[in-house]
Amino acid sequence: MKHAFLGAFALLLSAVSCSDDDNNNGSGTPDNLVTPKISARITEQVAQDAPFTGILEIFPCRAGGSDYFGNYINGKLTIFNGYYTIVQGDVYGNNNRELHLPIGPYNMVYWGTPKHEEPIHNSPEINSPGIVKGANLADMYFSLRPYGDGTYKPVYDLVHAVQETRIGSEELHTGLIRVSAGLIVNLRQKDNAVFNSNVKSVKVQIGGIAEKLNFYTAEPVNQTKTVRFDLSRSEDNTTMSNATVMLFPSAPNPTLELYITLADNSIHKLTQTLNSSLSANTLLTLNVVIGEILPEGNPGDFTITDWNEESETIEFPTVE
């Protein structure tokens, strides 16, 4: 039970698709297959490296490039990548799909989804590419999944690395770099008052978010999309907030929008361009303070704090 959470992070395995005739290239089984030992850590920008815990997938490419090689399973070369449960940097359990590769040089592409001690958004989604025989990973992308109304859903927390390795003489150990960003919004009324009963719901929209991440380089592409999520009330009704929402990186100074729905079903919108950006490996916390909410409008302001403890205050006019 201790490690049952890890099943929730198995997004990449279930998303990689193939057809039956892709499973074997008919080349026979080499005599020099090696099963490398695996270890992983997360390389932090603001702290010391930490052992990785979560799901790790490894995509062996041909040396010096991004052409997918594949993996030998039951003596046959298949498209199925390596898949591992990692706990504190080392492989855990028996439900892993190990790599079996001929001796020689490879370019390994790593993707992982970390386990979090703190709650994160409970329904992330992502569109993942299908791996086929002879695929060039540099031509493939993870992409946002749309709601269908012009906005998009939050994504998984993703870590990534690319590393040259010589199978047969080197173990597979790498530092993984977070390529997603985190966002927390805390909404409260002035003086920490109990939340106004007029407030029915609050939706957050953050713009300038990348549509895609390159599968090989993890570079963000087309930073023009808007991601939407809801805020939830605290038990004491003094705060509306969200568990950490993971996003693809944003363009500089993304636009934040709050849609406040009142009991009479009127919707009031607050919009502001942020001074901060949601870059990779950034956790941005927005503390939003609003005055009394009336049907005809309200004043409000934001205080923003990120990992570097920078802050900004944004003054809003009354919302009509």
Query: Residue 294 has what pLDDT?
Result: 56
Domain map of the chain by residue range?
33-120+157-178, 181-290
pLDDT in tens, 129-164: 988 878 999 999 999 999 999 999 999 999 999 999
CB-side neighbour CA atoms (13 Å) of 128:
18
Lowest-confidence range among 16-30, 240-254, 271-285?
16-30
Residue 287 near residue 315 (C-beta atoms within 8 A): no
Query: Could you give phi then psi for residue 174, rounded to 5 degrees?
Result: -150, 160
Q: Which fold has domain 33-120+157-178?
A: Immunoglobulin-like (2.60.40)
Query: Which pTM value belongs to this model?
Result: 0.84
**Rounded to whole angstroms, how far apart are CA atoms 6 and 108?**
23
Altogether, the residues listed in the chain come to a count of 320
Give tens-digit pLDDT for 62-106.
999 999 999 999 999 999 999 999 998 889 988 899 999 999 999
CA distance 239 to 317: 22
Q: Is the CB of residue 124 less than 8 Å from the CB of residue 156?
A: yes
Q: Which CATH number fits domain 181-290: 1.10.3470, 2.40.160, 2.60.40, 3.40.50?
A: 2.60.40
**Is 33-120+157-178's fold the same as 181-290's?**
yes
Q: Could you tell me if residue 15 is left (phi over 0), alpha (psi between -120 and 50 degrees) or otherwise beta?
A: alpha
Q: Would you call 251 helix, strand, or coil by DSSP?
A: coil
User: What is the per-residue pLDDT for 303?
Assistant: 35
